[in-house]
Amino acid sequence: MKNFEHAVCTWPRLTICHRCNRQVLDGLDAGMAYRVDVIPLTLEGEVCARLNDQRTYRIASRHVFLRELPDIHATSDGNRPPVVAEHICAPIDTRHISQADTPDVIALIKDRYLDKATPEQNREQVALLTIAGQFDLCVTDSPDDQDPPF
């Protein structure tokens, strides 16, 4: 598939996987449907995903694009875009989450969390809400002067 000028690309859409209830992004890239996890991967995580027969995708300009092997090799020097993997209903290895790329992924799905984030919260706090949502965790806010409820 070399000629992509007439293929359809859509904005990623945040949905829920009906099997595992995790959030995923789905859409079309060059006319091909994708469904990816919203967790950005480190280079090691991308290699593990590829060895597990999962496609990987880069996030750029608020779109999701398929990564080919030459793309992976060309960006292995540390100049790589945020990368996500094709969704499979399996536990996520937290060692492979790219914390540096989390804000870029959040930019794609932030509308879902705007009602939970106050204006004074920064990108790190919104990222925490998103990651917690992926693992079905609850994040609570407690004033610094109170003891934890446990």
Between residues 91 and 140, the one the model is more confident about: 91
Q: How many whole angstroms separate alpha carbon 23 and alpha carbon 38?
A: 7
- Whether residue 144 is contained in a domain is answered as no
- Whether residue 79 is contained in a domain is answered as yes
What pLDDT is stored for residue 67 in this prediction? 92
What pLDDT is stored for residue 146 in this prediction? 55
**Rounded to the nearest 5°, which phi and psi values hold at 149?**
-75, 10
- Residue 124's pLDDT band (cuts 50, 70, 90): low
Mean pLDDT confidence for 1-11: 64
What pLDDT is stored for residue 109 in this prediction? 72
Q: How many whole angstroms separate alpha carbon 135 and alpha carbon 104?
A: 19
- Whether residue 40 is contained in a domain is answered as yes
Instruction: Yes or no: say if 36 and 27 are a contact pair by the CB < 8 Å rule.
Output: no
Which range of residues forms the domain containing residue 109?
13-134
- Whether residue 52 is contained in a domain is answered as yes
Q: How many whole angstroms separate alpha carbon 112 and alpha carbon 100?
A: 21
> Quick one: residue 61, left, alpha or beta (phi over 0 = left, psi -120 to 50 = alpha)?
left
Q: How many domains does the chain have?
A: 1
Between residues 72 and 120, the one the model is more confident about: 72
Query: Could you tell me the pTM of the whole model?
Result: 0.69
